[in-house]
Amino acid sequence: MSLLRVEGLGKSFGGNRAVDGIAFSLERGELLALIGPNGAGKSTTFDMVNGQLRADSGSIVFDGVELIGRKPRDIWRRGVGRTFQIAETFASLTVVENVQMALLSADAKLYSFLSRAADHRRDDALALLEQVGMKAQADRPSSVLAYGDVKRVELAIAMANAPKLLLMDEPTAGMAPKERNELMALTKRLVVERGMAVLFTEHSMDVVFAHADRMIVLARGRLIAEGRPLDVRDDPQVQAVYFGSGRTFEKAKAGVAS
Ligand code: ADP
Ligand code: MG
C-alpha cells in the first residue's frame, strides 16, 4: 500500500480551477519532486494534503486514512510534517532552543515552553541537530547563522515530530546552487535512513535531476507527466508546456532565460 495516494483531487478559487483532478502516489523511502510553472497549483496541492485548504473533490489517503475533512493538527499528528521558515520572533533563541521548541510542540506541552524549553529534551534536540550536521552550532543564536545553515535547522525542526511524510514547498528558494544541492542530498539521506517520504517543489532542474527519485509535472492545475526525472525531461509535452516553445530542459540547465 502506498504511503500517500491522491485521486481526482480538485480545488477551485472562484472560477479558477487551481487543481483540476490530479492523481499521484508516494511510497515510503521516496523523494518525489512536484514541478511546474508559477500558478500551476503546487502550493494548493500541498495545502490540501496538510489540511490548510479543503479539497472540493477527490481523495487523499495517507497511511490508510482519508485526510480530506481533517484538521491540520490532526493531519500533523498522523505523521504529515512540513518545513516552516524560522519565525523572526525565534531568531533570538539559540539553534538548539529552536529545536527544543519544536519537540515541546510535538509533545503538546507548548503551554510551558517559556519556563522549560531550556532543559526540555535537549539531548533529543542535539540528536536531531547532529542528523542535519548542525550540532556544533547548537548554542549559537539562530540569528547569526548562514542562510544554508538556517535551512538545515528548519529541517531538524520539521523532523521533531518524526513525520512519515514531509512536505517541503520551495525548500531551496534563495539558496546558491551548492547549498541547494547539499540540502537536498541531506534530505535524501534522511529519507533513506528513516524510511520516510518527501514531496518537494523545486525550480532548479539540476536539483530535481540530481536528487529526486521521481517527479510529477503540473501545468494549469493538471498533472501532465510523471516518471523518473530523465524520462520526464524528454517528454515533448513537458518541454512545450513547462518551458514554452523553444525552451528546453537543456537550455534551462544552461541558464538561458525564457
Ligand atoms: P504554484 O504554487 O504552483 O505557483 P498555487 O497553488 O499557489 O500555484 O496557485 C494556483 C492557482 O490558484 C493560481 O492561479 C493562483 O492565483 C490561485 N490561488 C492560489 N491560492 C489562492 C487563494 N487563496 N485565493 C485565490 N486564488 C488562489
Ligand atoms: Mg507555490
Q: Which of 62-66, 78-82, 89-93, 106-110 has the lowest mean pLDDT?
A: 106-110
| Ligand 1 pocket test, candidate residues 16, 44, 56, 170, most atoms within 8 A of CB | 44
The rounded Å distance from CA 41 to ligand 1 centre is 6
CA atoms within 13 A on the CB side of 254: 6
Strands 65-66 and 222-227: unpaired
Rg value, the chain, Cα: 19
The C-alpha angle with vertex 250 and arms to 244 and 254, in degrees rounded to 5, equals 105
pTM of the model as a whole: 0.89
Burial class (CB in 10 A: 0-12, 13-18, 19+), 170: middle
Q: Is the beta carbon of 10 within 6 A of some atom in ligand 1?
A: no
- For 202-256, what is each residue's pLDDT tens digit? 988 889 999 999 999 999 999 999 999 988 888 888 888 766 654 555 555 555 4
Q: What is the mean pLDDT of residues 139-144?
A: 93
Name 213's Cβ contacts closer than 8 Å, sequence gap at least 6. 30, 31, 32, 228
The rounded Å distance from CA 13 to ligand 1 centre is 8
Q: Which three cell numbers stand for residue 75?
A: 493531519
Which atom of ligand 1 approaches the CA of 41 most closely? 6
- For 153-200, what is each residue's pLDDT tens digit? 999 999 998 999 999 999 998 899 999 999 999 999 999 999 999 999
Res 81: pLDDT:
94
The rounded Å distance from CA 44 to ligand 1 centre is 6
Q: What is the mean pLDDT of residues 65-83?
A: 95
The rounded Å distance from CA 46 to ligand 2 centre is 9
> Mean pLDDT for the chain?
88
The rounded Å distance from CA 19 to ligand 1 centre is 9
Residue 119 has pLDDT above 90, yes or no: no
Which sign, positive or negative, has the C-alpha torsion 90, 96, 102, 104?
Answer: negative
d(CA 195, CA 169): 20
Res 236: pLDDT:
85
Strands 65-66 and 57-62: antiparallel
Q: How remote is the C-alpha of 218 from its chain's centroid?
A: 16
Nearest CA to ligand 1 atom 12: 18
Nearest CA to ligand 1 atom 24: 13
Nearest CA to ligand 1 atom 16: 39
